[in-house]
Structure 1
C-alpha cells in the first residue's frame, strides 16, 4: 500500500472518530440573540415612581411594572425580569457602604454588585435578632414583613405587641385574631438625629428603637379613626425644634423621659394653611427633612407642604391641570427634591416649583 493511500485511510478514520465522539457529547443550546445584563430599554415614564441616587451620583429609577433604570452620563441601563429581577414591581432602592445596590421588589430583595443580581437569603423569624448598627439596611416590603439586613442575611422581625384596646386604640380587621398581625404591619421607617430608628404601623401607633429599648407611641390618632378609616403612620419626621411629626397634622410629639409612663409629651399642631384647615383627613403619607432643616410632606391627593419651623405652606407643582396622587418623596445628593406619583411619573424640584421629569434615551 502506498504512503498516499495510507494517509487517506488514516484521515478518514480520524474524521469518523470525531463524528462519533461528537454524537456522544451533551448538546449545548446557544440562544439566537444573547442579551447582556440590562441591554434592553423600554421606558414608560408614567410608571416611574421611585428615585434613588447612589454614592457615585448615578440615578436609579424604580417603576410599578417595568423594572429598574440606571441613569448616568446620558447612559441608561434597564433591568427587568429578563435580566434576572424576581419582579418588575419595585418598592424601594438602597445602597450599602460597599456600593452594592439593593432592589426591593414585590417578590423579594436582590443585590446588584455592579455585575450580577443575587437574591438575599431570609433568616427564619425564630433565628432573627433585633440590633441597630450603622450599616444595617431596613425593608418593610410594603407593610407585609419587616426585615433588617446585616450585610449577610435578612432578619425577619416583629414589633413587641401592646394592649391596643386598653390604650383606646383599635385592632385592624374584623376580629382581634385576624387583626393582630395587620395592626403591626410596618408602613414607615425613618431614623432620627440620634441614630434611633422609628417604625410607623397600620393601627398600632409608632415605635422608636435605640438598639436596646423600644419607646411606644400609642395614641388614638395613630390608629383606627372614629369613622373606621386607617391612615397608618407612614412617615416619621423630626423638625428643627426637636418635635416629631408622626404622619398626622393633629399633634406633634416630643420625647421626655420624665413623662411617666409614656416617655413623651403630645402638643398641638402648628396653624394649618387654608387648603388643609377644612380637610377631614389630616395625614401625610411621606416626607423628608431638607438640607436647611425644613420639613416636606406629601398628602397623597392634597398636594405638597413645607414646614420651615414657623409655618406650614402649600408648594407649587406644575401639574398641567392633571390630578396628581403623590406616593413618594426623595432628596438626592445635591439636595434636590423629587416626587413620585401614582400614575403620572416623576416630578423634579426646579427653583420654587416642581416640573415633570422625562427619562429619555
Structure 2
C-alpha cells in the first residue's frame, strides 16, 4: 500500500531564475470525439475549475487535461510544463494558474509557463500541494518541507516536530500532505508521521495521537463552516515490512477546538485510510476512503457512493456537478446518485 501511495504522489531566501515557455496552440491535442476513448488519466489526482469555468484535471502521467465545455485538450512537457505529474492546481487573483508538479512549480498565464525549481530556491521539486491563503500568501508543500513565495523569492518555512511515540518512515518524514486555512485565519499543515499542526501567525499547536488522532499519518485537512477541523489519516502500520502487522488505527477525525471525535460506526472511516477530505462550495464535506468508496457529509448525515477506486480529489463545479479524481480515472455522480466513469469522450453532461 505504501509503495502504491508513494507512486500516486511521488510526490533561506534566494532570487529566482525561472524558465518560461509559450504554449503554441498547434501543440495542444484535441481529443474530443475520438473513436478509441481512454481514461482521462490512469491516476487523476486533482480536479479544479477556474474563474472562466474551465475544468482542469491533474494526472500523474499525462500532464493536465482541460475541458472548456466543448473540447478536451492536454498540456504536457511538450507545451512547457516541467513534468507530466500534476498533483495540485490553484488560481491567483490575477487569473494565473499554478501547477504543483513532480519537477517543481509552474505558473501559467494562459499562454506562457513560468517554471520554478530548487535552483530558484524552491524547498523541493517534488511538490505535494499549493495553497493561497486569505492574505494572498502562496504556500508550497513538498516532500522536503514547506516554503512561501512572494512572486520573486522563496522562503523556507520550518515547522517544528512534535514529540511522538510512533515510528517515523524516513522516506516521508518531511512530506507535507495538506495545507489549508480555517475560518479564523489559522493555517493548518498535515504531515505524514507528525500529525496536524496549526499556525496562528505566531506559534504552532500540534494535534497527534496524544491529543486523540487515530493516526499521526495525516493525509488531508479541511475546515467546515462551523469552524470544525476534519482530518483524514492513514494506517501507519501499513508501512511495516511484516504483512501480519499491517493493522492499526486510521480514518476520519473531527476536531471542534476542544476534543477529537471519531466515526467508528461508519464503514471505512475508522481503522482504515482516508486520503482525501474536501469542503465544496455548498459547504458539504466529501471524504475519500480506500475500501468503502466516497462519503458526502451534509446536515450531520453521511451518504455513501460506491466509487470503485480510491478517490484523491473532489470538485463541485459552478453548476453543482460533482467530479471525483481517482486511482483509475475520472468519475462523476449524477442526480440519481449513480457513479459514472468519465472518459476522454465523456459523458460530460
Aligned residue for 1:82, secondary structure, equals helix
- Cα 1:51/1:138, change in 2 over 3 Å: same
Contact 1:188 1:200 in 2 (8 A): yes
- Offset from partner CA, 1:299-357 (integer Å, 9 cap, x none): 1232111222433332244xxxxx412222233334432211112x1112321333222
- Cα 1:270/1:69, change in 2 over 3 Å: closer
Alignment partner of 2:29 out of 30, 33, 40: 40
What TM-score do the two structures reach when normalised by structure 1?
0.70
The reply to whether residue 135 of structure 1 matches residue 148 of structure 2 is no
Contact 2:277 2:286 in 1 (8 A): yes
- Residue in 1 aligned with 2:168? 172
- Residue in 1 aligned with 2:331? 347
Report deviation, 1:48: 5.5
Aligned residue for 1:45, secondary structure, equals coil
- Residue in 2 aligned with 1:103? 99
- Cα 1:57/1:152, change in 2 over 3 Å: farther
Alignment partner of 2:255 out of 253, 256, 281: 253
- Residue in 1 aligned with 2:146? 146
Contact 2:64 2:86 in 1 (8 A): yes
- Residue in 2 aligned with 1:332? 317
Gaps of 5+ in 2: 1-22, 32-37, 124-131, 234-250
Q: Which has the higher contact order (CA 8 A, sep 6+)?
A: 2
* Higher helix proportion (structure 1 or 2): 1
When the two chains are superposed, the root-mean-square deviation of aligned CA atoms in Å is 3.1
- Cα 1:237/1:348, change in 2 over 3 Å: same
Report deviation, 1:68: 1.6
The reply to whether residue 280 of structure 1 matches residue 271 of structure 2 is yes
The residue correspondences of 1:167-246 to structure 2 (distance < 5 A) are 169-173=165-169, 179=170, 182-220=172-210, 232-246=217-231
- Residue in 1 aligned with 2:83? 87
Report the structure number with the largest CA radius of gyration.
1
- Residue in 1 aligned with 2:127? none
- Offset from partner CA, 1:130-189 (integer Å, 9 cap, x none): x96621233323x3432323233333322122333xxxx32413xxxxx4x843421112
Distance in 2 of aligned mates of 1:117 and 1:251:
38
Distance in 1 of aligned mates of 2:134 and 2:227:
23
Gaps of 5+ in 1: 1-33, 126-130, 174-178, 256-264, 318-322
- Cα 1:304/1:54, change in 2 over 3 Å: same
Distance in 2 of aligned mates of 1:184 and 1:45:
30
Distance in 1 of aligned mates of 2:268 and 2:187:
29
Report deviation, 1:201: 0.7
The reply to whether residue 160 of structure 1 matches residue 198 of structure 2 is no
Question: Which deviates further from its counterpart, 148-157 or 296-305?
Answer: 148-157
Report deviation, 1:52: 1.2
